[in-house]
Chains A and B, each alone.
Chain A
Amino acid sequence: MTATMEVRSAGSPSPRARLRAYAHGHRSATIVVSMVLITAAMIVLAQVPPLSLIQRQNAWFDAFANAGTFVLLAMGLNVVVGLAGLLDLGYAAFFAIGSYTYAYSNSPFSQTDLPFLPMLVVGAAVAAVFGIALGAPTLRLRGDYLAIMTLGFGEIVPIVFLNLDKWTEGTNGIGGIFRPEPLPVLGEFSALSPFPYYILMVGIVTVAMILLYRMQDSRIGRAWNAIREDELAAAANGINTVTTKLLAFAIGATTAGFAGVFNASKLTIVSPEQFLFAVSFSVLAMVILGGMGNIWGVAAGALLVYLIQVVLLKQLNGMVEGLGIPFLTEINFLDYQYLLFGVALVLMMLFRPEGLFPSQRRRRELHIADELAGPIDEPAVIGSLGAAPGADELGDTSGQDLRGHDR
């Protein structure tokens, strides 16, 4: 909408404005083109300095594919937290459910070997069912209460997987999960060549992004926004808040299910400690850092945070050891990742609460002061003075409110 406004206001639209207007009108095509460009750019970047100095090209593809899991998770959580405004602190539970679903369908433990692509859908569907099962009785809770409930669910799920050791192998987790069968074009999936995983992940993220954008721009996306802003007013305008919130929850869980299946097939092992609160928290931090409500923003935030967390900090250890400074070599930088998170979040809340790549909407909400500095209408004292005295005989209140404007 802003893009079209720009086009109208400028006499002859600049190429940039025209591009933005076009992108807004053809969103799905724009996403596909951008993702292809980004994918290609990342393939090239991984082979040239400075990235090629940090680690080998295959290690980068591996990292990108793993980061993609978190990009998916962040995009899914963004629907729940960023669009519908429901704080979900146990999001990793749905990730776990997706992962274990794939583990049961493709492992020596369960003695099954089902095809990957259908299982991707099944895993997502199972996660969605759990999302609905959790949401249906509890979504009438608001704010803090909902957060505590999701926190509890997020704790329960890994504990159940841990303690049902007859069914889940407990702490050891289910290992030796079969990799996806070779796909056309992509070729064989193996530990040695992570490239097919990378391309597959890009495909999943692209599809998810197109679908999520469509949801966001639909009648339902509008309803999510309305609920986030004012639930009572939303209900008083005919929105069934229960089903609408449930749908947000289910879509969030579905996305986590996709991520879970992919993750299990890539790591070839699932165990309860992969899905602890730290994961829920990391994903939430990615959403907040990236810019709640903006799908591209949270995707970029997730990629950035994951790469810093897993690649950069790990390599930093090696690099510092190479320098041979006695004090610094003692430090394991990976141990400090949550410290970094914390500091980053605090700084973010102080200086850029809307996130690195904010949505238009969030920016507006969080920068009210800037807008108030804009044009202010003339104060209308005339209102109270001009009221006809005769009209007041039964306690007229017009003119009491100074917010009234003279037009």
Chain B
Amino acid sequence: MTETTEVLRAEKVTKRFGGLIAVNTIDFAIPRGSIVSLIGPNGAGKTTFFNVIAGIYDPTDGRIEFRGETVIAHPRRAWLEPILWLVMPGVVAMATILASLAGLAQGTVILGIFATILVLLASLVTGVARGPAYQRFLGRFGIFRSARPNDMVVAGLGRTFQNIRLFQNMTVLENVQVGMHSRLHAGWVDALLSTPRNRAEELSSRIRAEELLALVGLQGTGDGLAKNLPYGDQRRLEIARAVASNPVLLLLDEPTAGMNPNETAGLTSLISRLRRDLGLTILLIEHDMKVVMGISDRVTVLDHGEKIAEGTPDEIRRDPKVIEAYLGAPAA
């Protein structure tokens, strides 16, 4: 993967819900190692834009490049994909038909029919599973389909949610371990046989999870349930879970919502520390202007789905369009 100076670049991204244009032709870029904030009044389309980047919504138009590769865009040659699924079963089926024409034993023909069904099933499963190797295979035929949320995580994106979405009835430690899922490799065979690899991986993932909990200031809470954590700590846990997949880009959706000034200050310093210690690039949606102006390198302002301003915090603070969006136009 070629590393560019921009971790993420969005070009003319539009997302329409029926008649509502939630996000309208937005161009946007996040330089490597920076903290970029996305602000705007309620309903400006910030979270929708987030969800498009994270692979949850397919954009109506536009494309997104992540770490130098186009990951989200209009599907290209999608019609070819189901045809590819039929190639292998087709070959087996043809062989079976030829065998029956050649007058081979009935047993062979029946075996051929079974083989056809199995191969058909195998290609169907490969198709719906859409593993990385399969996606590279599709690329060879010029087929492109947008990345799904889990593909984005594998590619190096971590995110938190506006309304905390922890796995509430799992322990704090398990939550972080789920975050590591895409970086662990023990499959079902390892699990069934309890192979040394499986045990080693479980152990190391536990140790790593403890480290991450300590990093966000939750050391010693690992055995408790996620839902029993105080609100502020749940936000921290969600960050630890997002960071567990070793992302390059971290998306934080209103990380300080509902926090008191003390907690907000603590979280702000945590965000700076994440950038420093883990070398993360961070995209932030935030309403607390103290946080935004304090840690952002750049700020982008959305209103009614459109980008109305972009620049350093100081430029944004003085921008008349931004002030108008938040406070309304001055009386004539």
Interfacial residues, chain A to chain B (CB-CB below 8 A):
1, 5, 28, 129, 132-133, 136-137, 139-140, 211, 214-215, 217-223, 225-226, 229-230, 232-243, 246-247, 251, 361, 364-365, 371, 377, 380, 382-384, 386-388, 391-401, 403-407
Contact = CB atoms under 8 A, between A and B. Distances in A.
A405 B230 contact: yes
Contacts of B260: 380, 382-384, 386-387, 398-399, 404-406
Given A132-B121, A230-B167, A398-B259, 10 more contacts: A132-B125, A226-B167, A232-B56, A232-B165, A234-B178, A240-B150, A242-B128, A243-B129, A405-B232, A407-B262
A215 B189 CA distance: 9
A383 B159 contact: no
Interface of B: 39, 41, 54, 56, 118, 121, 124-125, 128-131, 148-150, 153-154, 159, 161, 165-171, 174, 177-179, 181-184, 186-188, 190-194, 198, 201-202, 205, 223, 225, 228, 230-232, 241-242, 245, 256-264, 287-290, 322, 326
Closest 7 CB pairs of A and B: A401-B258, A238-B182, A383-B260, A238-B153, A218-B191, A233-B165, A391-B290
A222 B178 contact: yes
A140 B178 CA distance: 21
Nearest to B266: A407
Contacts of B149: 232, 235-236
Contacts, number: 196
B64 to A, nearest CB: 16
B129 A388 contact: no
18 contacts: A214-B193, A219-B205, A232-B56, A235-B56, A235-B150, A236-B56, A236-B150, A238-B183, A239-B150, A239-B182, A242-B130, A377-B230, A380-B260, A386-B261, A396-B288, A398-B287, A404-B259, A404-B260
A214 B187 CA distance: 12
B258 A396 contact: no
A237 B148 contact: no
A129 B121 contact: yes
Given A137-B124, A238-B150, A223 B181 contact: yes
A43 B268 CA distance: 66
Contacts of B261: 383, 386-388, 398
Nearest to A233: B165
Contact of A137 (B128, B202, B256): B128
A383 B264 CA distance: 10
Contacts of B184: 219
Contacts of B170: 222, 225-226, 229, 361
A198 B321 CA distance: 80
A177 B225 CA distance: 52
A396 B260 CA distance: 12
A257 to B, nearest CB: 16
Nearest to A399: B260
A394 B182 contact: no
B169 A223 contact: no
Contact of B129 (A215, A240, A393): A240
A366 to B, nearest CB: 10
Given A383-B261, A397-B288, A136 B178 contact: no
B107 to A, nearest CB: 12
Contacts of B223: 1, 5
A223 to B, nearest CB: 6
A379 B123 CA distance: 56
Contacts of B125: 132, 136, 246
A339 B164 CA distance: 43
B120 to A, nearest CB: 9
A401 B257 contact: yes
Nearest to A387: B261
Contacts of B201: 219
B263 A407 contact: yes
B191 A214 contact: yes
B208 to A, nearest CB: 13
Contacts of A406: 260, 262
A407 B230 contact: yes
Contacts of A214: 191-194
Contacts of B188: 215, 218, 220, 247, 251
